[in-house]
A and B are shown apart, each in its own frame.
Chain A
Amino acid sequence: MERRRWWIAPSILGIALILALAWGYNEYRTKNELGVALENNYQRLFFDVKKHIENVQVNLSKAMLANSRDQNILLLSQIMNEAYFAQDKLAQMPITHAETAATEKFLNQAADYSYHLIQTHLAGKPITNEQMAALANLQQNSSAFNEELSKLQSELADKDFLFTALNAKQNKKIREANQKIFQTTLVNIEKNMAQTPELIYDGPFSDQTLNKKPKGLDNKDVSLEEARRKAREFFGANRVEEVESFEEGEHASEMRIPSYTFNLYPKNTSRELAVYMGVSKKGGHVLWMANPRPINANKISIEEAQRRALRYLEEKGFEDMEPNYYLKYDGGVLFNFVNTEDDVTIYPDLVKVKVALDNGEIVGFDASAYYMNHHDRDIDEPELTLEQARERIKTDFEINSSRLAIIPKGKNEILCYEFKGKYRGADYIVYINASTGHEEEILQLIHNENGTLTF
């Protein structure tokens, strides 16, 4: 008996060992394959970024020479594309944000600026000297960028450089050496980019748009205590148990709209369900309020909810607000209200109100856009008549309604004729500039049973 059995345990162990080895080898191979695949992807991204920057650089030099409008537009559209590509791919590489922020900004703004110049060209305006200088500057920057990348490229070819090793928990020596080569280049590029003078133009990525200051606030400074009182009153002083303010950082004054933020604890509710509110430091306006309590039943209709939202706005001192779109979600319905002045719809003055569909309570309010943009406007008389504007639109666009509206365009606002209608079964809004007749914007509306989204 014993003699026959002595080999069982060792052989089982032996088999287990072999299995373990096979499994380990398999894991090892898979890991290597994945590593190589990732590394290849990073290498590709790097070479692509280099190529795109080259194209930006070359096209910029061409655009400076080109004299005809059509050639310029073609070149600028290529610059825009190549710069966006470069930015997109750069952002996919395993580099920290701190090392690429200025470069990404440069690329985005180069693209955005090209788009702006294309619009200038199409509007028939000549390129000014400042714009020429800006182009020259972009060109210089992209050359410097490209040169650094070339250096890096040849250095990478010399050494066993692995992008994957930049951040992986691998051999410390290789990692540090890699990081050194790479970071020197990146730091050089970043330094260069950070010195770029501010581009002055009108586009979503321009510094002027980003650093916009709120226009609709009163100028009076409000103390924390006063803001706390205003928050309490806004929600209804008798409904609030306690108001607690959020802790502020050192640089709180650098917020887009410097504000106090509060937790309001309503009476007879658990402390988990706080209401949040932001009150501006200038003027003490309530910028937003949110009551994220769960909403269970749908008891009131959208129409009723809209009436309540309008009444609420009137109570809070917003006159002449017009309901626009709504979106139903999570038991509430969110309305977009915009201001109207002399029968002109002013889209930048936007206030959002969310109504709970169980008891009609207002559970959300957001007027930050309103306070950002609202100011006394001198609305020009339109130079075109409605009929003249209508002629600018594709003939088979079935128009359901039309009116005058002010829409935001970059940091500016323009007066337009707004045409809502249908084209090939889908809903659109077309905006025609009321003074130049340009087709300024086309929005597509996507409806579903919960509301409307604009694209």
Chain B
Amino acid sequence: MEGGKKLKKRFAITTLALVLVFLSILMFYEPHSLKEATSRYNYFAPRVLYWGTQGQDVKNVQWQLVKWKYLIGKVDGIYGPETYRAVRRFQAKNGLRVDGIVGPETAAALGITLSSTPVSAQGVNRQGDEYLLARCIHGEARGEPYVGKVAVGAVVLNRVRDPRFPNTIAGVIYQPLAFTAVADGQINLTPDKDSIRAARDALNGWDPTYGCLYYWNPATATSKWIWSRRVTLKIGKHWFGI
């Protein structure tokens, strides 16, 4: 009798625990994917300050953060680790999305408008492309040496200029079946500093591939067709070709 009672008790506790686990999965699953979905829209904001950005806008943000004591440090116009942490603290305190990126919402909460330019030039800049390219590089070539990262960026840009491919950076990156990192969502990871630098170097004209349009990793490439490309150079783990 005693044993049976204990067994039943244990059974009830285990089920209860299981149900709790299950319910918590249910509760936390949905909001998470929603959060991700909304965060994606914010990437397309007109002007965004993030790790590595420099300039007057960054100074303005730092100035405000120092004033409100989120940042203890100097106002140098460089978005470094301290500014990043301060922005995160500010976002957490003010119920904003905590991502360490100063987009329109965070800027508004800081009471700052980003950049002032003549009307005809308003919103014309390269930052959107830069950040998108950085995300693509981060997704595709995270473990590669620096030159391999720039090379991936250069391939994207060479494709933009080639008639066989779409004519915009976003068109090339999001072309279905073109990049595995886009298909499996790795492109939505926040790019690290090196990827952002590599994207800038590629946009400023550095092409270590001498005009290549394709690259693949011989260890993981699944497409048979890619092997028919003409190989010209090996950088890191990737073969580059035309």
For A247, the chain B residues whose CB sits under 8 A away are: 233-234
Binding-face segment, B84-92, B94-102, B120-128, B184-192: B120-128
A256-B210 in contact (CB<8A):
yes
Contact with B along A441-455 (1 / 0, CB 8 A): 000101011100101
Binding-face segment, B65-73, B132-140, B198-206: B198-206
Partner of B8, one of A5, A254, A257: A5
Say yes or no: A88-B166 contact (C-beta < 8 A), given A12-B19, A256-B211: yes
For A205, the chain B residues whose CB sits under 8 A away are: 162-163
Binding-face segment, B10-18, B38-46, B104-112: B10-18
Residue of B nearest to A1 (CB): B5
Residue B147 CB within 8 A of the other chain:
yes
Q: Interface of chain A, helix or strand or loop or mixed? A: mixed
Say yes or no: A93-B176 contact (C-beta < 8 A), given A5-B8, A250-B231, A292-B201: yes
For B161, the chain A residues whose CB sits under 8 A away are: 204
Partner of B146, one of A23, A91, A292: A292
**C-alpha gap A109/B235 in the complex (Å):** 32
**C-alpha gap A406/B240 in the complex (Å):** 34
B165-A448 in contact (CB<8A):
no
**C-alpha gap A92/B173 in the complex (Å):** 11
**C-alpha gap A107/B33 in the complex (Å):** 39
For A450, the chain B residues whose CB sits under 8 A away are: 54-55
A102-B164 in contact (CB<8A):
yes
Instruction: Tell me the B141-186 residues at the A interface (CB within 8 Å).
Output: 145-147, 150, 161-167, 171, 174-178
A112-B175 in contact (CB<8A):
no
A440 to chain B, nearest CB (A): 21
Instruction: Tell me the B1-33 residues at the A interface (CB within 8 Å).
Output: 5, 8, 11-12, 15-16, 18-19, 22-23, 26
Residue of A nearest to B214 (CB): A97
B51 to chain A, nearest CB (A): 11
Say yes or no: A426-B120 contact (C-beta < 8 A), given A91-B171, A290-B201, A366-B206: yes
B121-A257 in contact (CB<8A):
no
**C-alpha gap A448/B49 in the complex (Å):** 14
**C-alpha gap A258/B210 in the complex (Å):** 8
Partner of B241, one of A15, A84, A251, A426: A251
B120-A290 in contact (CB<8A):
no
A446-B197 in contact (CB<8A):
no
**C-alpha gap A442/B211 in the complex (Å):** 27
Say yes or no: A352-B204 contact (C-beta < 8 A), given A96-B223, A251-B242: yes
**C-alpha gap A98/B175 in the complex (Å):** 13
Could you give 28 example pairs across A and B, Cβ below 8 Å? A12-B16, A19-B22, A88-B167, A95-B176, A95-B177, A102-B164, A108-B167, A109-B163, A167-B177, A205-B163, A210-B163, A246-B235, A248-B232, A249-B231, A252-B232, A255-B212, A255-B242, A274-B147, A276-B147, A278-B208, A288-B208, A327-B204, A329-B200, A368-B207, A368-B210, A450-B54, A450-B55, A453-B125
Residues of B in contact with A (beta carbons under 8 Å apart):
5, 8, 11-12, 15-16, 18-19, 22-23, 26, 52, 54-56, 115, 117-121, 124-126, 145-147, 150, 161-167, 171, 174-178, 197, 200-201, 204-208, 210-212, 223, 225, 230-235, 239-242
Q: When A and B form their complex, which 3 residue pairs have the shortest distance between CB atoms, in order from nearest?
A: A249-B231, A256-B211, A108-B163
